[in-house]
Structure formats: structure tokens, C-alpha cells
Chains A and B, each alone.
Chain A
Amino acid sequence: MISLMKYFLTSFNLVIFVSLTSILVFSSEQVLPFERTENREPCESFDPLRQPFFGETHVHTSFSFDAFVFSINNDPFDAYAFALGEELKLPAAVAGEPERIAKIRRPMDFVAVTDHSELFGEMQICTRSSPGTLGFNSFNCLQMRNAHLNMPPPDPTTVAAEWAFNPILRNFSAEPLAMCRRPGVDCTGASVSMWQDIQNAAEAFYDRTSECKFTTFIAYEYTAQPLFDNLHRNVIFRNEHVIENPISNVTTGGPFIPLLWKKLREQCLDPITGVPGCDVLTIPHNSNLSGSTPEDPAGRMFPDPRSTVEARERVFFEPLVELIQHKGGSECRWDRIAMMGVQTVDELCTFEQVLVDKLFPGAPVVPIDEYPTRDMVRNALKDGMALAPNFDGINPFKYGFVSGTDDHNGTPSYTLEPDFQGHAGTDDAPLARMIDGIYRGPGGLAVVWAEENSRDSIFEAMRRKETYGTSGTRPVVRFFGGWEYDTLPNNLCNSNDRIETGYKKGVPMGSDLPSRIEGRNPRFLVAALKDPGYPAVLPGQQPIPGTPLQSIQIVKGWVDSDGDTQEQVMTVVGSQEITGVELNTNTCEPNLEAGFTALCTVWEDKDFDPAQPAFYYARVLENPTCRWNTLACRAADVEPFSSQEVCQTEAALANAKAIAGGVIDEGETPFNNCCLNETNDSFLSRTLQERAWTSPIWYVPDG
């Protein structure tokens, strides 16, 4: 089926089809709340009060060098099919065993495939061209293909590092691979070819009929990683009018983000030099791994802007940040052993924290008091308000939230803890290697509130930040701010038209509060509905019930009268108490009678000071469930809930078995990680509370 579609698209039919649809005009008398920039049928399922759509904004396929090198064969077509419910194959965990199967339990509403653009040309020539193509037999290509077939030396990790060195890792410059310098080797043309196939895949799966079942976005990743500081962004286009060749870290000659924006403006947005109809935004991720420099000691992902223009461009191009994904969470950070946080005392900030602040294996562990403060987004949001007066009142860090996975298996949104099978093909397919990376996880989901499931509706939702991110499950969350919401005696939560009122008398998540009504404090309506749960879809699976909600918190950040940033976290509904009945840690079954199906409250900030800029965002917490490491350790016969003596003994056995099986080397002890827990590790837990974070609502003082 998929290969038929591929054949269909590589024939001239696609051109005819696209040209016919771009000539035909679909007339619609509907006055839309968003601008329609493409030709398609209007959606049957349209709601002016908006609906929640669950999606992925960050996933890699075999088009990415660091997925293909780990034996991944799933390309963008396969990734989109997976999101709709098809089974995909993953490389066997151990040589000789059969391939693994992955299948999502509930289909996604939208997906953007984001492969690493820096190496498109090289990947096209080495892995997708016929043997006669110039460059096919270059050293770089031979290495990549051998690694893909699991035929070291050298091992795939080394090949990936070598491929990444010149295009991605250099501090002030970037170059393509050596093969591109050979006469006749056309890396640019090959890159355009791969980019064209990415567009073809997106078009093949984008549902332009009135059924509006699924939306795809044409996208790629800009992979700047100077000396291993992570400055990556996902570049997402609004519609099919895209630039000719992606602007990569190589195109910008190194990690110069303002240059990326400048070139995007020239080649996409500009009315004269750009592509008509083109629109684009960029979503940064993993500020937790962006390190710091002497110039930017607070953190490299959110540096003080060098000019007001830069502040303005950041605000335009980057309405959203990816708050959590496989390589850790970036909301906030608390070390429970040191009993210290990074500008916070929020103890729930141990969540999905990794030990390092740079993206490379073997990076040094960073003590909590040396951790760059702005590498945590909450602190960047606070600093942004403090910086605004220096930039004509422009807050450069006014980010809304989504989550993603950064999956390198071609399996977008595969985020449920019991289903986690690893992140990048053979790299962490064996259990021992997964557990070696115990601090990482499957990642989370992006959710947007949009009228219909179409590109324009969803893209505009992202622009206005009416989005939230989850840690992997699908609770439904609403957040509104205003000056007139009723608390007592008729609490807005009890009204069946509370959402309509939310919009009419205030603003949704992501916006600025409307002009203040004299004498009033801001009030926030927050409501959440639990995830309804998931069926079993593969043999041997159990259904996963939706976990009841525990509580909703509101996080407030503000700049006080001394110009210092402050924060406060308040539980506004539900209860923070974990009594022990919520989860059976032996069976990992949540108690469906504990907790809440839905929560709602209207909260008023009684400490509000109209002179002080502030933001507010909601954090919704589920009751605890088992984290993937608990299930994985049990699969290896190591019981994380046993005493330390028992656990260490079992871990030693598991390590020995893995060494004997050739999965790990002599001396490695990954299963010792199974004995880390809430009592002896700074961040790691055996259970987790899945959560959602809404985009903030900002208060900007007048004058």
C-alpha cells in the first residue's frame, strides 16, 4: 500500500493532481476565524469554540543520519502511516532475534516529520541513490551503509559522531562532509531531491477532504550543536508553499540562529524574494542541554538578545518551545538529594531531569548550584519580563508550550510508558542499553486548540500559542484568564457554557490578559478532563486505562519592585497528597477509584500587584503510574521496589547475563540503575505523575 503510494507520487500524476487542485477554487461562504492559505475542502467537524488536536512536532525517520545509522528503515511515509495506526518494524533487540513491532494505540491528529537538514544531500546520495551515482562509493557513504547493516568496524555511534562533526558540532563554522567536495558530487541537488520527497510524503498523507482525519506539516530540523551545546530548532511550514532547499546549520555557516531567521524571512516570507503564500515558525527544544558560555552564562538557548531587532525576530519566529521530550524536561529543576533547585523550590521539578547540561555521551554531571539558570524555561520566562524594558518593551522569551518526542525510530508520538521500546534503533534496542539511558524517556505530545483539523487552523493556533504540552498521555486541558470570571456565589465552573464565557470575558492560554479593569485581580479558569485510556493493539498487550487526575497547579512568575524575578507554585484544585492507594506498585495498576475524572476551578490572584509584569500557566498532574524503567527492570528480573541488597544482587546477575550475551562490554553495569530511586537519586523515580503544561497567560502593566 505504502509503496504503491510512493510509485504514484514519483510519477507525473502528482504534478497534474497538484496543479489541478491549485487551479480549482473551493468556494466557501463561511467566514473563517483563521486565514485559509491553501486549497482544500472545509471540515465537517468545525467548532468555533475549538477542539483539542493531539500531535507530534519532532520526529526523525530513516532520512536522518542518526536514525539510519542505527538500522532504521522507516521513512517519512512510514512515519505518517504509523501515526494513523499502521504497524512498523524496529530492528531486533539482539542479533538473530526477529524484528520488533511498534503500533500506536490511538491515532494522532497531526504530525510534522523533522529530519536533520544538514545532511540531506549526503543521505540522499549514500542511502537513496543508485550505485552509479557519483559519491555513492565514497568513504562516508560506505561507512553509513555498513553501520546501517550493523557491520562494524567502526560502530554506528562512531559513524554518527563522524558525520555530525563538520556539519553540526563545530563552534563557529559548519561544512558538509568531505564527499561533497569531490568533483561532480552534487550534494545540493541531492538535498533538494530529499526535501522534495519529504514534501511528497506530507502531501500524500494530508487529508484535504471534508473528513479532515489527519494533518501533516512540511518540516525539518535545524541542528546547531556547537561543541555539544544544543541549539536545535524544528522548522515548521504552514502549507505546501515552502523554500526550495532547507536552511540548515551548514547553510548558515554555523550556529547563528538570527541568521536562520533572516534567511527564512528572505526565502519564505518576503513579499518580493520569498515564496508566495509561505509562512514558517521555529520551535526550539532541549534548552536543558544547551549549556552556557562566558558570554551567556545564564544559558545558551535563551541568550540576552544582541539587539531589539533580534528580540523582535525571536518573538515572531518562535511562539512556542518544546518543553519536554526524550532527552529530558526543561520546565524547571529540583535536586531532591541536595535539597536545592535552579531558582526554584518546586519539588515536582525532579521530573524527567537528566544529569548533564550538554548533548554528548560522557558529558560531566553538573551540580545543581552550577546549572545554567536559563536552561530551564520557567526561568527564561521570568527573565524575559525583566529584559523587556531594554528592548522597547518587547519580552524576548514569551514562549508558549508544546511537547514532542525526538523519536529516531520513525514512530511519532509513541509516548506511553509501557510501550517504550527505545529511542534510536539498535542504539538502545537491547534492554541493557535502554536502562543505561534511564534518565531519558519516551517524550510527550503537542496539543492545540483549533477550530478544525487543517493546516491553517492548527498553524494559527500555534502562532497564538493556544497550545499545551503533555508528558505523554492525553488529558484535555483548558486555561483562560480574565478580570470578570465568577467565583462565588455562581462559580463559572458550574456553568455549562463556561468555555464560551471563558473566551467572551477573557483570553485563552497563550495570550495577554485584556486591559485591566480598575480595582480587580486577575482570575483564571482552569479545567481538565482525564485521558479516556487506550485499547490493546498488539498481541500480549493489556489495555491502558486513563489515569485519574490528582490536582491542578498554577505557576506564577513575576518581576518584583526591586527588579528581581520571583515565582510561586499554587495547588488550586485537587490535592497534592499521595496516600499510597493511588497505585499498586507490584502490578503497576492505577486505582481508578482514587483521584478525579475531571477538575475545574476559578482562581483569583489575591497577591496581584498591577505594577509588576507576570505570567501564569497551569500544570495538571495525574495520579502516579509506573515509569518505563520499573517495567523494563522487571523484564530483566531486577526488582526496583526490593531492598537495596536484593536489588544490587539481582542487578549484578542481570549485568553478568548481558555481558555473557555480548550485549554490553566487560565492566559495564547498566542494571545498577534499576536500584536508583526517590530515596537515593537526585532526580530519578520508579513512578511518575504524567502531567500537562498550558501555555502561559501574561499580564503586561499599562504604561
Chain B
Amino acid sequence: MADIMNLFSRAIRTPVLHFLLIGGLIFIVNVEWKSRTPNNPGKPYNEELLISAGKIEQLRNDLMAESGLPPTPQLLQAAVEAAIIDEILYREALSLGLDQNNPSIQRRLVQVARFVVEDPGQDEDTLYKLSVRLGLNRSDLVVRRHLITQMRLIAEIVPMNKEEPIPTDTKLEEFINQHPEKYMVPGGVRLTHVYLSKDRRVMYAEADARRMLKELQSKGINPVDASKLGDPFLLGQNISWKSHKRLEQLFGPDFANSVIGLPIAEWSGPIQSSYGWHIVWLHGKQKDKLPTVESIRNKVLTDFLQVRREKRLRETLSDLRAKYSIRIEYPEGDISSLSLKDSDE
């Protein structure tokens, strides 16, 4: 029980709360948003969206503040794009009336109003109305950010054009195959080795190793009996499953690279490491493999939905963007290095 309470208290602090709040709004949004058509575009589309020179200057300064260096043209263009998207989301939010009857926004505006009005002791309702009259609901950055975040969540979650079902196992398997870098479980080896120490045998170590190999092979000695032979090795004679990378870390790259290609269930060598020479018996090899959907269902499902959400968001945003008339006041001299996409609007 306490576990769930702990989880819940942590949940409160994440945007899941936004999600729950929006849950109530989705009904409204579904109706209102889907009723938009090209012939009935609604108010926000009609006003021109301007990114002024001053705004671009501000974005440049912000980027410089973050990294300490002047931004490259690519970075600046990305920031301008992000500002456009933010403004679009903000206008959509307003047109859907997300700022009305929103308790978070009301609380914030009351708080801000307390600082600016002459008589902060008035009741919350009056303060709220005052804040609207003063235009604080439009000028306050926190309110704006809140609306943008809510609108982004809606854009992710509410499909504008079509329904999308929970993905099937086949779809998930396809997803795993498409992203090997995320899901590949590295293979590895399990081995027993007989160690010939460089310290003890100095220049005879390699010759001793060759002799050891002959003896192991000719007498048909199995790995269990072989563990008494050779010199003691601090990491042990029996090495449990280790990936290629881990073998590299423990023995050095030469050893790791040689071991991968060895046959199973026979003695091979001599193989050199930073420590001397080894005669190796591979018990098993596992290739790098992609896991089954069963074994990582939750993880891959979460990732799949995440990717789909991002795709949905991108599509929604580009649909929205096409409906606005956008003007960007590029500073002089920068036109050649920035995208010319919007300079003719």
C-alpha cells in the first residue's frame, strides 16, 4: 500500500497530472478541434504570425547565454522554428479556450496579481478579474508555457485524422528489428582456461603453452580436471558469461578478439593476453541477438508508443503550420545561410 502511495506521490509531480487534467478536456477538444475544416478555419489562422527581428535577436542572445558561444546559423534556425511552433500551439490553446476555467492558471494569476495590484488583500475572485483586466493572462510567461505544454500534450494524444490502435505483437517485433542499437543483447562466451604466467615462465611461457595444449589434447583432459593445471589466475579458471566488451576490459583486446572465433568444446590456443598465455575451452557462445517481444514487452511497447506519439506530434504540427501565414524578419546578411522556406510569406 505504502508502495502505491509512494508511487502516487511521485506521479503527482510528473506531467501525468497534466494528462489527467487533459483527460477531461479531450472530450471538448475532440469535438471542437475535429469540427475545424479548411472552410471553417477559426480565428487564429487569420492573424499573421510574425517572428520579428527583435525576437530573433532575443533567441540569439538566449542561445549565446546557454553555450557561451554565438550560435551557428543552423542552431538559430532551429530556435526560430521552435519559437514558431510555440506560438502556433499557444494560439491553438487560446482558440480552444484552454485558458478558461483552468484552476492552475487562475492560481498563478492570483499569485502574480498579489504582487502588482495596490491592494493584495482582496479576495481571489477579484484578484483574478483584475489580472485579466491588466492583461496578465496574456503577458505572464508561466501561463503561456503552461498553455503550450498542455496543447503539446493534446497534439500528441489526440489524433486529428485517424484512430490508431494498440500495436500487435507483429508490429512490436518489427519495431525491435528496426532498432537493433536499442535492443540488441550482446552475445558472449563462457570458458575455462589454463593459464601460463609470463612472470613465472619468462621467455619459456609461450613454449610451455604449446606443450600444455598438446598435453590437454593428446590426453583428452576435460575442463574440470584441467582446472588444476597451469598457473593460478586471480580472476579464476572458470569465466562465467562475459560479453566481448567485458572480456576486453578484463584481459585486454587481443585476448577478447581471439576468443570470439574459437570452436566450442575443444582446447584452442595459445592465446596471448596482457598476463601471459592461455589455452582456452569454450563452453558456449552466444551471438548478439535481438530479444523476443515476450521478454521485453513493456519496454518495447513504451518505446513504440513514444515514437508514435512523437510522429503524431510532428504531423499535427506541420499540418497546423501550413494553415498559418508566417512572416520572419531575418536580419540582413543572414538570408543566404538560413532556410528560405518562409521568407516569401
Residues of A within 8 A of B (CB): 8, 10-22, 24, 44-47, 49, 51-52, 71, 73, 91, 106-107, 130-133, 145, 149-150, 184, 192-193, 196, 209-211, 213, 241, 244, 275-277, 476, 478, 493-499, 527-530, 532-533, 535, 545-546, 596-598, 600
> Other CB < 8 Å A-B pairs besides A18-B7, A496-B227, 4 of them?
A8-B306, A12-B18, A496-B228, A598-B197
6 shortest A-B CB distances, which residue pairs? A132-B141, A12-B16, A132-B142, A532-B274, A529-B234, A532-B252
Determine how close the nearest CB of chain B comes to the CB of A37; give it in whole angstroms: 12
> For residues 267 through 285 of chain B, which have their beta carbon under 8 Å from a beta carbon of chain A?
273-276
Identify B11's interface contact among A15, A149, A213, A596, CB under 8 A: A15
- Measured in the bound complex, the distance between the Cα atoms of B240 and A49 in whole Å is 11
Determine how close the nearest CB of chain A comes to the CB of B143; give it in whole angstroms: 8
Give chain B residues whose Cβ lies under 8 Å from the Cβ of A196.
Answer: 10, 13
Select from chain A the residue with minimum beta-carbon distance to B273.
A532
- Structural contact, B234 and A476, CB atoms closer than 8 A: yes
- Structural contact, A211 and B186, CB atoms closer than 8 A: yes
Give chain A residues whose Cβ lies under 8 Å from the Cβ of B140.
Answer: 132
Give chain B residues whose Cβ lies under 8 Å from the Cβ of A527.
Answer: 232, 234
In the complex, 29 of the A-B residue pairs with CB atoms within 8 angstroms, ordered by the A residue number, are A10-B15, A12-B14, A12-B15, A12-B16, A12-B19, A15-B16, A46-B240, A49-B236, A51-B235, A130-B145, A131-B141, A132-B142, A196-B10, A196-B13, A211-B243, A213-B243, A244-B9, A476-B235, A478-B234, A494-B232, A498-B232, A532-B249, A532-B252, A535-B253, A546-B274, A597-B197, A597-B275, A598-B197, A598-B234
Determine how close the nearest CB of chain B comes to the CB of A344; give it in whole angstroms: 29
Determine how close the nearest CB of chain A comes to the CB of B247; give it in whole angstroms: 11
- Structural contact, B275 and A17, CB atoms closer than 8 A: no
Give chain A residues whose Cβ lies under 8 Å from the Cβ of B306.
Answer: 8, 11, 13
- Structural contact, A596 and B227, CB atoms closer than 8 A: no
Determine how close the nearest CB of chain B comes to the CB of A318; give it in whole angstroms: 27
- Structural contact, A71 and B68, CB atoms closer than 8 A: yes
Identify B252's interface contact among A17, A476, A533, CB under 8 A: A533
Select from chain B the residue with minimum beta-carbon distance to A493.
B232
Determine how close the nearest CB of chain B comes to the CB of A493; give it in whole angstroms: 7
A131, A211, A598 — which one has the most chain B CB atoms within 10 A of its CB? Answer: A598
Give chain A residues whose Cβ lies under 8 Å from the Cβ of B275.
Answer: 529-530, 532, 597-598
Determine how close the nearest CB of chain B comes to the CB of A509; give it in whole angstroms: 14
Question: How many residues of chain B have a CB within 8 Å of chain A?
Answer: 59
Determine how close the nearest CB of chain B comes to the CB of A237; give it in whole angstroms: 14
> For residues 106 through 137 of chain B, which have their beta carbon under 8 Å from a beta carbon of chain A?
111, 115
- Structural contact, A45 and B141, CB atoms closer than 8 A: no
How many A-B pairs fall under 8 Å by CB?
138
- Structural contact, A597 and B276, CB atoms closer than 8 A: yes
Give chain A residues whose Cβ lies under 8 Å from the Cβ of B188.
Answer: 44-45
Answer whether A597 and B111 are a contact pair too, CB < 8 Å, given A12-B14, A132-B145, A192-B13: no
Determine how close the nearest CB of chain B comes to the CB of A608; give it in whole angstroms: 26
Give chain A residues whose Cβ lies under 8 Å from the Cβ of B234.
Answer: 476, 478, 499, 527-529, 598, 600
Select from chain A the residue with minimum beta-carbon distance to B305.
A13
Give chain B residues whose Cβ lies under 8 Å from the Cβ of A244.
Answer: 9
Select from chain A the residue with minimum beta-carbon distance to B303.
A8
Give chain A residues whose Cβ lies under 8 Å from the Cβ of B344.
Answer: none
- Structural contact, B15 and A11, CB atoms closer than 8 A: yes
- Structural contact, B13 and A529, CB atoms closer than 8 A: no
- Structural contact, A529 and B235, CB atoms closer than 8 A: yes
With an 8 A cutoff between CB atoms, is B241 at the interface?
A: yes
Give chain A residues whose Cβ lies under 8 Å from the Cβ of B233.
Answer: 496, 529, 598
- Structural contact, B13 and A533, CB atoms closer than 8 A: no
- Measured in the bound complex, the distance between the Cα atoms of B302 and A12 in whole Å is 10
Identify B7's interface contact among A10, A19, A493, CB under 8 A: A19
> For residues 187 through 213 of chain B, which have their beta carbon under 8 Å from a beta carbon of chain A?
188, 197-199
- Structural contact, A130 and B141, CB atoms closer than 8 A: yes
With an 8 A cutoff between CB atoms, is B65 at the interface?
A: yes
- Structural contact, B13 and A532, CB atoms closer than 8 A: no
- Measured in the bound complex, the distance between the Cα atoms of B26 and A414 in whole Å is 50
With an 8 A cutoff between CB atoms, is B50 at the interface?
A: no
- Structural contact, A106 and B249, CB atoms closer than 8 A: yes
Answer whether A14 and B14 are a contact pair too, CB < 8 Å, given A149-B68, A211-B185: yes
Determine how close the nearest CB of chain A comes to the CB of B66; give it in whole angstroms: 8
- Structural contact, A496 and B240, CB atoms closer than 8 A: no
Select from chain A the residue with minimum beta-carbon distance to B230.
A496
- Structural contact, B7 and A17, CB atoms closer than 8 A: no
Give chain B residues whose Cβ lies under 8 Å from the Cβ of A545.
Answer: 274
- Measured in the bound complex, the distance between the Cα atoms of B275 and A192 in whole Å is 49
Give chain A residues whose Cβ lies under 8 Å from the Cβ of B236.
Answer: 47, 49, 499
Give chain A residues whose Cβ lies under 8 Å from the Cβ of B2.
Answer: 275-276
With an 8 A cutoff between CB atoms, is B104 at the interface?
A: no
- Measured in the bound complex, the distance between the Cα atoms of B234 and A528 in whole Å is 7
- Structural contact, B141 and A532, CB atoms closer than 8 A: no
Give chain A residues whose Cβ lies under 8 Å from the Cβ of B15.
Answer: 10-12
> For residues 5 through 62 of chain B, which have their beta carbon under 8 Å from a beta carbon of chain A?
6-7, 9-11, 13-16, 18-19
Select from chain B the residue with minimum beta-carbon distance to A474.
B249
Give chain B residues whose Cβ lies under 8 Å from the Cβ of A596.
Answer: 199
B228, B240, B251 — which one has the most chain A CB atoms within 10 A of its CB? Answer: B240
With an 8 A cutoff between CB atoms, is B237 at the interface?
A: yes
